[in-house]
Structure 1
Amino acid sequence: MINYKYILFFCFLFIGNHPRAFSQTHVKKENHSTINKNKADSLLNIGIKKQESGNFAESVIYFNKSLESYYENKDFKKAGDCYSYLAISYSLQGNYVQSLSYFEKSISEYKKSGYKLGISSVTNNMGGTYYYLGKLPQALSCYQKVLELQKEIKDPKTIAITTQNIGGIYSKLEDYSSALKYYKRAYDVYKKVNDVKAIAQNLNSTGSIQVRMKDFDLAYKNLNKALSIANEQNDKQIKVEVLNNLGTLFYRKLDYSNALAYFNNTLQLAKEMNSQQYIGDSQIAIGNIYIEQGKNNEAVKLCNKGFAIAQKIGSLSLKKDACDCLYQSYKKLNDNKRALSYYEKSNIFEDSLNSKETSNRMMNMEFQKQQLTDSIAYVKREHIIQIKHKEEVQEQEKQRNIFIVSLCFILVVAGGLWSRLNFVRKSREALRVEKDRSEELLLNILPEEIAEELKQKGSVNARDFNLVSILFTDFKSFTQTAERMSPQSLVEEINVCFRAFDLISEKYQIEKIKTIGDSYMAAGGIPKPDQNSLKNIVLAGLEMQGFMAERKTENIQTNKPAFEMRLGIHAGPIVAGIVGVKKFQYDVWGDTVNTASRIESNGMVGKVNISESLYHLIKNEDCFVFEYRGNIQAKGKGELKMYFVEANSERI
């Protein structure tokens, strides 16, 4: 039997009090600012109602409209509210990358207005989004930050929701007793403040744990209570989660008829809400039931649909579930070749889900401070030896001839002072030279911020970045072109190109990561996040292609072989840090890096090829013109939507 994955519903904290609609008054004159604020509050209220009823796409329209008005009034707190609601709508639709980006913007606006409760709430919501992406360490880190903030704020509801979400982490790790303990603490608070929706969410999460523990009667009781509240409150998000868990309950009881009914209801409601996560999840669940019923061809169709959605929203756990379903389907159909293919993919996604912990262990390796201080230590040792030698000579001279020492006392003291001052000056100069040399060497291989951390601590902590752009270049037909060149001319030509790329990267403030053979890799938005990094890295890519075109023309005129280049850019979350203790370098890891490589390899010579996610982030930039390429088959990624980007000559 297939072990089906349960998705726990994470409580989203909605910011503070909903903005009130302004009541009618009899004031004769009302200034323009107040009118704009009334309009913005009204639009925000409509967006919230759309979101609560499950119309997430429509809610986004109203949130964006109200955001414009709040910025006109410089109301940064309300702008933070808008960004937070936008992020929640995108997260509930399965667009997690966009969701994390808006959560970051919300925190930024709340910091301007000093709204600590908002910062705490949004940090909790980011933890829930990381959970859905299968990034448990990042999720837990967010919840720990919330509890740290709550030591000062002491908001009981925020603490309760975060406590429940930490219980979800324990559930994912299959520590069910600890999970139920955290859920019970949260439930007591919800009952005390009479938060009906939170009680429903808590009962749903508790029921899902009891399903795993095979306590089916108690699970059914709690899930039905949650469903009743969801229906009373007309909360579609809670309802779709409860229906999903009820389907899972009957699947575990081998009652496939009832399980199928619940999953079909889940799928129908998820489509109404445009919740991609639950559309894909319920399709895979129904596919698993079809396998048990011997309907393997139908299972293949549904699980393929689920796999396509998993690829679209970037959920590793959903990809793994889809591959498990397809493996079992093709195995039952005796299509061993395809079965093996999906079995291997499932293992790859399983490894990816665990790669975060592995990379963290690598990042925690301590660097030996001696590497940076050897030269300074050498100068200090020489200093001490010379001082001791000088003292010994003076002592011998004093013992041998007190008379001479007495007569020459003033001269010796003067000479000693001069010698000491001269020695100190030389020592300081030697220290300065060695320090400058170490600084220059370190800054040549590491970003300044990372180098400072390395000098101060002797190690560098790994960091998560929610949105970083990755650029790859590669020379087409490199081997064939290189065969027509001598080794020296080949190296010189590559050096000319990469030196130009380094200057372009510096111009647009993007970070060169490394070169691998004839491939060049750079990143935008690290180690310091920059709101202009996405635009700048595309401008850098266009300038690199422009340089290669000019270089080709020059080489052809002098009858020299010329290289042509592909270039691809993708944006998404990554992990960055340093590994090793010798010849160390700043590097990045994550699925975003792999996807950027595939975008480059599927590009065209002379063009800048970008991913769909990057296109959505920069599509409103007037300086670019885009050409949609359609779905392109990428190795290991399936079909990806790609775009060519060019400079908008009318805006130059």
Structure 2
Amino acid sequence: MKIRTFLLTALILLGGLICQAQYQAKDLEKLIKQFNEVTSNSDKAAILYKIGLWYEHDKGYEKEIQYLEQAYQLERKTGNETGQINTLQHMVYAYKQTGLYPDAIDHSEDLLKLQQKQNNQTAYNNTLKDISMLHKLNHDYASAIKIDRQLVTIYKKNDDQKSLVKTYADLGFLNLELDNASQALKEYDKAQKINQNIAGQGNLQGDLLINMGFIFGRELKIQDKAKEYYQKALALKQQTNDYGAQAMLHNEIGQIDYKSGRKREAQQNAQKAIALAKAHPGDQKYNTLAKSYQLLADLHAKDNDHKTSAQYYAQYLEVQNVLDSLENERLLKQQKQLRKVQAENKKTRSRLFAKERRRSRMQDQLLKQENELKALKIKEKEADIIRKQQQLQQEQLKTAELEKDKIVQLLALAEQKQKTAEQSALAEKQRMLAEKQKLENEKKQEELERAKQEKIAIEKEKELQKTKLDAAQKAQKLKEQELEHVKERNQLRDYLFVLFAVVVVLVLMGLISTVRSRKKLQVKNNLLNEANNEINEQKEEILVQNEELNTRNQQIEMERVKSDNLLLNILPFETAQELKDKGSATPQRYGQVSVLFTDFKGFTKLAEELAPEDVITELNHCFTAFDDICKKHNIEKIKTIGDAYMAAGGVPVANTSNPIDAINAGLEMQAFMAKWKADKLAKNLPVWELRLGIHTGEIVAGVVGKNKFAYDIWGDTVNLASRMESSGEPGMVNISGDTYELVKDHFKTEYRGKIKAKNKGEVDMYFVKGVV
């Protein structure tokens, strides 16, 4: 029954988590949809800000940075200072969570300028404290000291005594980290002198005196001064219930007395330390007990009281066993907690990957729909062009049909006129040739033959009009027929000449008839020539229209080429081709990819000194050179984030040479920056320097986004490559141990040792010195 209840509860909780994840995913979809619908920059900035906060809640800090960066740029365009401040605050948090402390510092400095402009002193002071903390996290203690100095000036002006105490104490800690013990002592002394005049700060005063005692005793080796400050701290701690601190101080004083030969005082302090430690409820008492028992054992051994010394030493061993047991328990708890965190991280990664896949599928569907709409619009344009072409051809055919009908009508009219003329000529012949019936019959036969030939010619002319291309040949045939007719007429003339005296009237009529026939043929030829001229004009119009269509087709082709080039400028060729062919791009997993990160040190300082246009010009100059270098070494540029540049080798086409290619590209980038720096320094102009890191491993690559395509890569390899950059030095190429194993036979390297990286523990790192 209990098992059933437990399973039911687990299912309910799991269902709630799934519903919550789906609800959150719907929130993101809703925000993306709203972003695509709005047009003003202020509305877009507000929605991008909300999307960034969604990713912050989902712990997708890199995505948060991407969207907040866009929102920040839009807020700057609209001049919304409040929006800029809110966006920068979350960007600083995201950079801090990802371990990109230099970027967090740069954006915090931008935040300072806005807060100073709004005269918001409280927010300004808090941001300065955050910058100091970020410098400490980045182990840049010197820069943290500079910020604390500014805070000291501000707190003195405002007479903020408590904040001055904390800041001076922080300066003491920072100088101690830089092994500057004397300066650390001065800072702690300033803190305690101010703090002693503040009521209710006795416990803090004791802590400050303890720190000064540690510096005198352990750093400066001035034991009397150390004891003096320990005694002052003890007097303050005795006014509180902090028995652990009291026990520790008695033990420290006893150690000093033992070294100074004051055995009795040392023994008394050790016994007091033991008594106070036993009264302390925490596990911290065991450290003091162990040190005190060991001190008593050493004191009695020095007095040759070996029995008592052995008793104390046995108690020391007993306490030390307890400490070892506690240490083992602590280690076991840490291991258990570590396994629990790893399991939770694994579940979180699986859940995030599932969410990312759902988002990716959703974005692929939206992208596919958008591409289908674009393809549909293109098809509609093409169909419109084809429809216009068809209409133009139909109009041309109609015009040709009309011209054809005109020619047929003209031919029919000519035929009708011809028949009328023939009938008139026949009647005249009957009146004039009444006496010579035989000759008249022959003449009629001759006229019939000519009419027949003329009908044949007309039929041929009709065929000429239908075929158009054979018009010249048919005209030539008509001319040949005319020559034959002339020949026959000459033969007839010779025959009539013999019978001139008898048939002179018939000859005259024949001549008249011949002249009329020539005129009729001339009229027909003129009509044919006019028809041919009109046909040629129509052909010329068709050629002009075809030329216009070709011009339009060329313009369409040019626009298509421009679109393809624009797409290739945003996406790799293979990904762009897949988008064109399928309408979507499938995410790909790559087993070996070398990721390259760069970031400019001193960029913020230079940006303050130069005009914004000059900053963009210099940044564009450097990134353009990086683009050329990446193209030369077969490296794919992924994106830029502010003054950071990200590229990868081995994508979108996998290869095994990408570690070598990436390092060659990195060396050439550093060489370019060295030359650029030398040119700037020669002109007495400000400069910045380049940090560059490379790591090789497994990633997932693909296209994200709906309105603006973006080719991006994901995976732990990307995060570790970023750590290589932030842990590097200006002017150097810093690579991980995994990359080193792949290129150690090709490059000269310098082992830097195991260096701590944010969330990665200690990582082997190497500087690349050159090619073997």
Which bracket does the TM-score occupy, shorter chain normalised?
0.3 to 0.5
Structure having the higher Rg: 2
User: TM-score if structure 1 supplies the norm length?
Assistant: 0.46
Q: Of the two structures, which has the highest relative contact order with CA contacts closer than 8 Å and spacing of 6 or more? A: 1
